[in-house]
């Protein structure tokens, strides 16, 4: 008995069959997530309705998808399962997932139906047989009315992102659709949050549902840290650019409140040379598909979106969610921040707020049951340092392109008079000057909370330092702070604003300690490497002398080699594609 147990993987223990287990192994899922562990055995064993609440990014699709596939009789062509989801993007995403899950069940067909695409084509697909239909409510209604689908024999109806469907006013549609389904079917409701409307729907459409909750109701992912930045309203856009520039590898969703703002911010970013695009309801379906495709394969680095358009979107490895404005409904924040920190990865959710909105942060904290950290918009100087080091590390990592070899002799001739040091300086100047010129005269954007209180304790009296150790040395802000505390021994509260970047960090001390700090690090080695600490010219103080933002940076970024992707300027399409392939491979193997 024991031996058999050892050879079973955790998904088999849940009761899933061979075909799904094979697919699970292919996808690299190792252990079931909590909602999967809780929901799958119940759904496999019992014919029951269920309400499952779990934060975003916890694998709800598989939690209903696996048992649904197990329940389907793939030998019969009758439609047996219906999944309703709020948007076309989500509908396609779920369909893809289900196809993946069932790829070793040859006769099982999952068909997506949604607005904005040919209804005749979709109807043809259904006619070929579709045991599972994934639909948006509007198109579903349409096809029912035109007798293109028959859901009178379904055994399972799944309402995914139920709260959002209600938000979008689909209550009546759902009502109408369900009236065409058998009474004795099972209804499975999956949602990240449980507003009152969802309980209403549960009461109205479901029969004594089993309720499972993972984590606290309405809370966000554990893997997301939350930060907010206080700026003057007119500096919102400049602040967004800095947050992006301070994170050169950013891969983000930026949320705006309205379609108009979404469009405007995206246009501005594109105009400023960022790989950005807008996603909102005024775009044609074709345009939206194109945007999502480029975002998924990372040709777009900053997706500016409305809440509705980006709802439930699962794109791997989003590093940052930026709330350009807070949402009107505080609950929506959970959904926004849930775009990052998925599948066990960590992520950051940033909020740009004006002074008058700070109190809203408190309400969000209450809902997500997590604290925000107040941070300051990076100064131009910090950004320059970050970009410079990023460039250096890109160069270090770059694979040499041997196509260049044949030109080398002539290139060497042009450059032969320079030493290595001179060449490095020149190279960096070519790549970096425009960036530097943009930021060198920039002013502080942060409105610190102390300024708000009229207390200027911090506008003087501290010194900011740069130190050449960072995340790659295994530090985060807490461990670096501990390390500095120990080495510097300055007493309590003498250290502040420890800010760890990939290959370096910043920290502040009271200025009286400046000499001591510098002398301690004058000849400091760690594992044989020299640790370098310098005073960062911008002292990191806020509310000091205001300088004006220097001239435009418009349209220069890309051409100056600061393409957000950090790709070479001469990348050919083929290179990009193969790059994506290897990235995909990496992603898959990461999951293992
Ligand atoms: P939710 O609907 O809860 O927001 P999704 O179903 O979209 O979450 O899943 C989020 C991501 O996690 C997807 O990329 C999915 O492939 C991945 N995932 C789901 N279950 C597992 C698992 N058991 N192990 C690893 N990754 C998983
Ligand atoms: Mg989902």
* pLDDT per position as a tens digit, 63-85: 999 999 999 999 999 999 999 99
Mutate to test the pocket of ligand 1, among 61, 93, 163 (most ligand atoms within 8 A of CB): 61
In angstroms, rounded to a whole number, what is the distance separating the alpha carbons of residues 360 and 393? 39
Q: Which ligand is nearest to the CA of 23?
A: 1
Token readout for 274 is 């960022």
- The length of the chain in residues reads 592
Q: Residue 399: what are its φ and ψ, rounded to 5°?
A: -85, 140
Q: Is the CB of 337 under 6 A from ligand 1?
A: no
Task: State whether the beta carbon of 311 lies less than 6 angstroms from ligand 1.
Answer: no
C-alpha span between 412 and 473 (Å, rounded): 36
Does residue 191's CB lie within 6 angstroms of at least one atom of ligand 1? Answer: no
Whether 176 lines ligand 1, by a CB cut-off of 6 Å, is: no
State the pLDDT at residue 324. Answer: 96
Residue 543 reports pLDDT greater than 60: no
- Provide the percentage of residues in the chain whose pLDDT is more than 70: 84
Using pLDDT thresholds of 50, 70 and 90, give the confidence band for residue 538. Answer: low
Q: Which two tokens stand for residue 484?
A: 């500095």
Query: And the tokens for 118?
Result: 């040919």
Q: How far is the CA of 17 from the centre of ligand 1 (A)?
A: 19
For the cut 60, the answer to whether the pLDDT of residue 173 exceeds it is yes
Establish whether residue 387 lines the binding site of ligand 1, counting it when its CB lies within 6 angstroms of any ligand atom. no
Please name which of 301, 266, 268, 300 lies closest in space to residue 283, comparing C-alpha atoms.
266
Residue 378 carries which DSSP code?
P
Among candidates 531, 536, 477, which has minimal Cα distance to 501?
A: 477
Question: Does ligand 1 lie within 6 Å of residue 33's CB atom?
Answer: yes
**pLDDT value, residue 146:** 95
Say if residue 550's pLDDT is above 60.
no
- Smallest-distance ligand from the CA of 29: 1
Strand pairing class (156-160; 347-353): unpaired
Residue of the CA atom closest to atom 12 of ligand 1: 343
Q: 345: Cβ below 6 Å to ligand 1?
A: no
Instruction: Among 10, 90, 103, 343, name the best residue to mutate to test ligand 1's pocket (greatest count of ligand atoms within 8 A of Cβ).
Output: 343
Average pLDDT, the chain: 81
Radius of gyration of the chain (CA): 27
Any residues with CB less than 8 A from the CB of 589 and at least 6 apart, and which? Answer: 28
582 vs 343: which has the higher pLDDT:
343
- The predicted pLDDT at position 177 comes to 95
Q: What whole-number distance in Å separates Cα of residue 28 and Cα of residue 471? A: 27
Where residue 241 falls among pLDDT bands split at 50, 70, 90? very high
pLDDT tens, residue by residue, 81-112: 999 999 888 999 999 999 999 999 999 999 99
Task: Verify whether ligand 1 is closer than 6 Å to residue 588 (CB atom).
Answer: no
- Ligand having the closest approach to the CA of 9: 1
CB 334 near ligand 1, within 6 Å:
no
| Residues 101, 69 contacting (CB under 8 angstroms) | yes
Please name which ligand lies nearest the alpha carbon of 100.
1
Q: What is the pTM of this model?
A: 0.52
Which of these ranges, 21-25, 34-38, 102-106, 171-175, has the smallest mean pLDDT? 171-175
Q: What is the pLDDT of residue 564?
A: 33
Q: pLDDT tens digits for 425-459?
A: 888 888 777 677 777 777 777 775 444 433 323 45
**How far is 177 from 158, CA to CA, in rounded Å?**
12
Q: What is the pLDDT of residue 311?
A: 77
Q: Give buried/exposed letters for 550-564 (b at 16+ CB in 10 A, else e).
A: eeebeeebbebbbbb
């Amino acid at each position: 008995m024991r031996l058999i147990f050892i050879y079973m993987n955790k998904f088999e223990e849940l009761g899933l069959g061979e075909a799904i287990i094979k697919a699970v192994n292919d996808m690299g899922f190792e252990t079931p997530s909590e909602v999967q562990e809780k929901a799958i055995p119940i759904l496999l064993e019992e014919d029951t309705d269920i309400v499952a609440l779990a934060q975003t990014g916890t694998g709800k699709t598989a939690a209903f998808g696996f048992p649904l596939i197990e329940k389907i009789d793939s030998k019969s062509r009758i439609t047996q399962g219906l999944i309703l989801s709020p948007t076309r993007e989500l509908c396609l995403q779920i369909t893809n997932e289900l196809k993946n899950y069932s790829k070793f069940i040859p006769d099982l067909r999952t068909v997506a139906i949604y607005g904005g695409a040919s209804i005749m084509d979709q109807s043809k697909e259904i006619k070929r047989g579709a045991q599972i239909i994934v639909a948006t409510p509007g198109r579903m209604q349409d096809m029912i009315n035109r007798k293109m689908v028959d859901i009178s024999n379904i055994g399972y109806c799944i309402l995914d992102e139920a709260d959002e469907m209600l938000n979008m006013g689909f209550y009546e549609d759902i009502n109408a659709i369900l009236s065409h389904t058998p009474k004795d079917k099972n209804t499975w409701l999956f949602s990240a949050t449980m507003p009152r409307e969802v309980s209403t729907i549960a009461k109205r459409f479901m029969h004594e549902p089993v309720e499972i909750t993972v984590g606290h109701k309405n809370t966000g992912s554990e893997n997301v840290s939350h930060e907010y930045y206080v700026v003057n309203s007119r500096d919102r856009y400049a602040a967004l650019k800095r947050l992006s520039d301070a994170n050169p590898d950013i891969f983000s969703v930026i949320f705006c409140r309205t379609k108009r703002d979404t469009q405007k911010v995206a246009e501005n970013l594109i105009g400023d040379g960022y790989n950005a695009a807008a996603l909102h309801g005024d775009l044609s379906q074709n345009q939206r598909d194109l945007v999502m495709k480029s975002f998924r394969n990372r040709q777009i680095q900053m997706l500016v979106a409305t809440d509705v358009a980006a709802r439930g979107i699962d794109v791997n490895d989003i590093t940052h969610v930026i709330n350009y404005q807070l949402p009107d409904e505080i609950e929506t924040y959970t959904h926004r921040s849930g775009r990052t920190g998925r599948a066990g990865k960590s992520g950051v959710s940033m909020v740009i707020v004006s002074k008058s909105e700070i109190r809203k942060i408190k309400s969000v904290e209450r809902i997500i049951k997590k604290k925000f950290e107040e941070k300051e918009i990076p100064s131009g100087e910090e950004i320059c340092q970050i970009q410079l080091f990023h460039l250096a590390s890109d160069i270090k990592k770059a694979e040499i392109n041997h196509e260049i070899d044949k030109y080398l002799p002539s290139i060497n001739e042009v450059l032969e008079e320079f030493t290595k040091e001179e060449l490095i300086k020149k190279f960096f100047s070519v790549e970096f000057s425009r960036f530097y010129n943009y930021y060198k005269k920039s002013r502080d954007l942060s409105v610190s909370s102390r300024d708000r209180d009229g207390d200027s304790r911090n506008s003087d009296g501290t010194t900011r330092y740069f130190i050449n150790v960072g995340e790659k040395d295994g530090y985060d802000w807490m461990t670096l702070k501990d390390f500095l505390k120990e080495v510097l021994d300055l007493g309590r509260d003498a250290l502040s604003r420890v800010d760890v970047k990939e290959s370096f960090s910043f920290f502040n001390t009271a200025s009286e300690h400046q000499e001591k700090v510098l002398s301690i690090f004058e000849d400091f080695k760690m594992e044989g490497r020299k640790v370098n600490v310098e005073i960062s010219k911008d002292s990191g103080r806020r509310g000091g002398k205001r300088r004006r933002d220097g001239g435009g940076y418009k349209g220069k970024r890309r051409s100056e080699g600061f393409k957000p992707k950090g790709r070479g300027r001469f990348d050919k399409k083929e290179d990009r594609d193969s790059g994506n392939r290897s990235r995909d491979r990496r992603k898959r193997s990461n999951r293992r």
